[in-house]
Structure 1
Amino acid sequence: MVMHPDHVVVPVDVVKALLAEQFPAWAELPIRAVASYGTVNSVFRIGDRLVGRFPLEPGEVEQKVRWLESEAAAARELFGRTRFPTPEPIALGRPGHGYPLPWSVQSWVPGTVATEADPADSPDFATDLAEFVTGLRAIDTGGRTFGGSGRGGELTSHDRWMETCFAHSGELLDVRRLRRMWAQLRTAPRLDRPDVMSHGDLMPGNVLVTAGRLAGVIDVGGFGPADPALDLVGAWHLLDAHPRRVFRERLGCDDLEWERGRGWAFVQSMGLVWYYAESNRTMATIGRRTLNRLVTG
């Protein structure tokens, strides 16, 4: 499915050709596309233990290389630091055979994405998720702070993006009500404590489930320092009311931290509904469900 302007399509035969040329040791492994609702990469299994990730949006090659190197460094820093599996970076590939961008290879993490194995009503999953977030927060930032782009700094820095979302959502959502909600959420003051290490994108497509428990977490390239409330987005993206309370109690969130978490979930969800309304209806549905949870408490 095409989701972005100039969306780059990646055929499986191109993946095979790139592997044969750049990583011949893997050339004979079976290659198969992974059905995914992700919006950043096309994903391919390489044998049983590896996965290739091919960016979908075009860009300047050297800039993309730096981005992939940064993702790999983040994944390497997180790998093995909690009891929950995360991907290990293995290699970076070059453009070729009609594919215009660099790409990456990681270890495959077993489990079923939460879009397919919904853990929303599982207190056990909520307990696992709280343990994962606690484990991230325990990793030393090394004096680093939030880098200044995307989610994780100040909620008010997203005012312009929210206006864009409201303008595109008039026929999709109750924009008047959501504007009132944002006016309240955006004013939640920043916590009086330093940034902590965060996953940054705890959505259903990035969380793996086995038998109702957290089996692993993927798409870890954004791992880094951020507002301590940022990873609370998982409370609304992933959990119904009772497990959400379990998650909050396990983390010991006060009212201020919880409100800022609601704000970050709101910022992310508003963009999902209108941007992916036709191109990725699973993502749009996730956005709607999260907004409904935020509205109903």
Structure 2
Amino acid sequence: MRPGEIVVAVEQVRALIDEQFPEWSDLPIVPQPLNGTDNALFRLGDSLTARLPRAQWAVDQVGTDAAWLPRLAPHLPVPVPAPVAVGRPGADYPWPWTVVPWLDGRNPQAGQDLVDLAIDLAGFVRAMIAIDPMGGPVKEGIQRGVPLVQREELTRRSIVALGDRIDRRAVTAAWDEAMAADEWPGPPVWLHGDLLEGNLLVDRGRLTGVIDFGGLGRGDPAVEVRPGWSLFDVRARAAYREALGFDDATWVRAGVRRAARRILMLRVPARWAAP
């Protein structure tokens, strides 16, 4: 348990469903493993999932998902968990919550042949980028997708603060290289922002769904390069890079964003240390 995190019980979910969505009262409720960091998931019958934030920091996603995923979903090549209902606090549960479709599939694993997945995922990213902005939220502050210049001061202070825990000369050189690279030349584009293997669903090597849009917003698409290092091997990474069609500067920014995130987490793992 982290500070500010709560436990959500099946009995609470049953009470919430009975009170707010009685049309689903007869459906069985099955808790799912706590694989993610923000939400408790409960399968509701065969085709639905109740999704309840476990901490205050995850509550904003309820509104973001409800506002934007139904509008983005028709333009995407695979299903996403667009909410079909939004619940309110009750049964000693303090926050809004959602009911979303249950999406079948398994998470991919490093070591498998993921070339087809890489091509499919690149298609998903390209589809996101092509969607009309629709006035969607733009990334602000120290978050994924913001221009690197917004991370300049904090990153350099963090490099100094970490001292001998990192190779400061090499890290500083990499950061300087990224700052010299061209920034994203166009307007902010739609981003998933967290394309980890746990947020991808596959069947027989093909992408069947993308979940957990907690990083949703608009910004620099370099952040979507992340699976090239976190998931794909050399062959799949090459296929991903070719299918994405991003220029070299975008890959440079992506690599340094990844390093900067690790630096900041080493220095102050804020989410884990404070509510």
Hey, what's the Cα distance between the residues in 2 that align with 1:106 and 1:273? 35
Structure 1 residues 226 and 166: alpha-carbon distance in aligned structure 2, compared to 1, 3 A threshold: same
Secondary structure of 2:56 counterpart: coil
Query: Residues 146 and 226 of structure 1 are in contact (CA less than 8 Å); yes or no, is this contact kept in structure 2?
Result: yes
Structure 1 residues 261 and 92: alpha-carbon distance in aligned structure 2, compared to 1, 3 A threshold: same
Q: Report deviation, 1:170.
A: 8.0
Equivalent runs, 1:39-78 vs 2, <5 Å: 39-58=37-56, 64=59, 67-78=61-72
Hey, what's the Cα distance between the residues in 2 that align with 1:23 and 1:145? 30
- The answer for the alignment partner of 1:223 in structure 2 is 216
Gaps of 5+ in 2: none
Hey, what's the Cα distance between the residues in 2 that align with 1:273 and 1:36? 24
Deviations 1:4-45 (A, max 9, x none): 312111112111111111111112211111114211111111
The question of 1:132 aligning with 2:124 is answered yes
The question of 1:258 aligning with 2:251 is answered yes
Q: Report deviation, 1:207.
A: 0.8
TM-score by length of structure 1 reads 0.78
Query: Residues 126 and 239 of structure 1 are in contact (CA less than 8 Å); yes or no, is this contact kept in structure 2?
Result: yes
Structure 1 residues 187 and 44: alpha-carbon distance in aligned structure 2, compared to 1, 3 A threshold: farther
Q: Report deviation, 1:142.
A: 3.6
- The answer for the alignment partner of 1:213 in structure 2 is 206
- The answer for the alignment partner of 1:201 in structure 2 is 194
Hey, what's the Cα distance between the residues in 2 that align with 1:11 and 1:166? 42
- The answer for the alignment partner of 1:17 in structure 2 is 15
TM-score by length of structure 2 reads 0.84
Q: Report deviation, 1:247.
A: 0.8
- Letter aligned with residue 29 of structure 1: L
Hey, what's the Cα distance between the residues in 1 that align with 2:256 and 2:119? 22
Q: Report deviation, 1:168.
A: 9.4
Hey, what's the Cα distance between the residues in 2 that align with 1:48 and 1:166? 49
Aligned partner of 1:83 among 77, 83, 94? 77
- Letter aligned with residue 254 of structure 1: D
Aligned partner of 2:237 among 239, 244, 261? 244
Hey, what's the Cα distance between the residues in 2 that align with 1:16 and 1:237? 37
Q: Report deviation, 1:273.
A: 7.0
Hey, what's the Cα distance between the residues in 1 that align with 2:157 and 2:6? 25
- Letter aligned with residue 99 of structure 2: V
The question of 1:102 aligning with 2:110 is answered no
- The answer for the alignment partner of 1:141 in structure 2 is 133
Q: Does 175-184 or 35-44 show the bigger shift?
A: 175-184
Structure 1 residues 95 and 223: alpha-carbon distance in aligned structure 2, compared to 1, 3 A threshold: same
Hey, what's the Cα distance between the residues in 1 that align with 2:4 and 2:207? 35
